[in-house]
Amino acid sequence: MQETERIEFKERLTDDIYKEIIAFANTDGGTIYVGINDHGEPVGLEDAGMLKLFPAILLVVSCLIHPQSLPIGIQERLFPK
């Protein structure tokens, strides 16, 4: 898999994730994969506790997007080491 107009890889969760989500909301939508490097390889998250932040991020972003017409969700995938 590679990055496209509708697929974005993020090696780690950073503050600019909001910008990516809103950019997708302003276009045709897309998917952001966190824990995947720019080459499309799974690298995981340094802190598994980061997964607990995703619902809070989605809540904040969904409050910023008006009208709320796009579904925003989380999928967790585990990759073998």
58-71 pLDDT, tens digit per residue, is: 777 777 776 665 56
Cβ contact 42:11 at 8 Å: no
What confidence score (pLDDT) does residue 37 get?
92
Residue identified by tokens 């045709």 is 28
CB atoms within 10 A of CB 34: 22
What confidence score (pLDDT) does residue 48 get?
64
1-59 pLDDT, tens digit per residue, is: 899 999 999 888 877 787 888 788 788 888 888 888 999 998 887 766 666 777 777 77
What confidence score (pLDDT) does residue 73 get?
64
* Angle ∠(21,76,32) on CA atoms, nearest 5: 25
The reported pTM is: 0.72
Q: Percent of the chain having pLDDT more than 90?
A: 11
Please state, in angstroms and rounded to a whole number, the distance separating the CA atoms of residues 49 and 39: 24
SS3 for 63?
helix
